[in-house]
């Protein structure tokens, strides 16, 4: 009965209530557990994982298609690949504490299955599949969009646009101009640092940027510099 209690608490946390709690249980049932409980009415989550994979791809594609400014097909493909790759799915599952809710066989449990990346990633896909069947696509859209938007905000998605290279290309016509990046400040606790970078062109600050990593901050600084250069060109 403890598992049922855990699922009640989980639904309160995610703020979605399943109509068919059996689907949620199914999504969190590993094949090792189902194989051990052959006499019971336990199904593993592999079919739901298959469905969830397709639903997730469509949902993420929809999110990226509606981003502003509009992304090209190639850019959307690159970002989607990052958002639905195993490390990302594992991260989403950990944020939801799905590992603690999983039903695992004794062998899988003893070998660290509750923390295994593939188990967690598969469970997240199965969970999305169960949510789709029970609550519908609109609910899935809302839930998944919130998750991937947070991933964007936290800088968990690798920068697709290489602004530093673009800036270099813009100024390379004049080989005498030197581009330099500096990290000018670091704030926040060790587990949640924020970096501020500037980019200088011939010693003059041209752009500033903030990011969760030094590389991200530099990319944002380069983006700011490109925007300034573009505006100056428009005035000419």
Q: CA 143 to CA 218: how far, in whole Å?
A: 31
SS3 for 158? coil
CB 20 within 8 A of CB 134: yes
Q: CA 211 to CA 188: how far, in whole Å?
A: 12
Pairing relationship of beta strands 204-211 and 194-201 according to DSSP bridges: antiparallel
Active site residue 125: yes
Cβ-Cβ contacts under 8 Å for 19 (sequence gap 6 or more): 134, 135
Cβ-Cβ contacts under 8 Å for 180 (sequence gap 6 or more): 199, 200, 203
Active-site residue, from 125, 134, 216, 218: 125
Active-site residue, from 53, 57, 75, 156: 53
Assigned token pair, 165? 């290279």
Sheet of strand 194-201: strand arrangement = 179-187, 194-201, 204-211
Q: At residue 183, what are phi and psi to the nearest 5 degrees?
A: -90, 115
Catalytically active residues, by annotation = 53, 125
């Amino acid at each position: 009965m403890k598992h049922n209690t855990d699922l009640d608490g989980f639904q309160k946390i995610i703020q979605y209530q399943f109509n068919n709690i059996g689907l949620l249980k199914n999504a969190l049932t590993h094949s090792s557990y189902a194989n051990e409980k052959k006499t019971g009415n336990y199904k593993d989550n592999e079919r739901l994982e298959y469905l969830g994979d397709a639903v997730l791809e469509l949902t993420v594609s929809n999110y990226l298609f509606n981003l502003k400014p509009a992304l090209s097909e190639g850019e959307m493909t690159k970002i989607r690949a990052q958002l639905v790759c195993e490390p990302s799915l594992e991260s989403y599952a950990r944020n939801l504490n799905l590992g603690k809710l999983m039903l695992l066989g004794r062998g899988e449990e003893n070998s660290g299955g509750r923390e295994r990346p593939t188990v967690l990633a598969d469970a997240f896909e199965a969970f999305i599949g169960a949510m789709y069947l029970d609550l519908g696509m609109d609910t899935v859209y809302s839930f998944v969009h919130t998750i991937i938007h947070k991933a964007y905000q936290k800088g968990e998605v690798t920068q697709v646009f290489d602004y530093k290279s673009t800036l270099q290309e813009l100024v390379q016509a004049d080989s005498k101009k030197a581009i330099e990046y500096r990290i000018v400040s670091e704030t926040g606790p060790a587990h949640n640092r924020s970096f501020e970078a500037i980019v200088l062109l011939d010693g003059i600050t041209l752009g500033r940027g903030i990011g969760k990593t030094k590389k991200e901050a530099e990319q944002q600084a380069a983006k700011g510099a490109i925007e300034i250069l573009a505006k100056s060109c428009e005035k000419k």
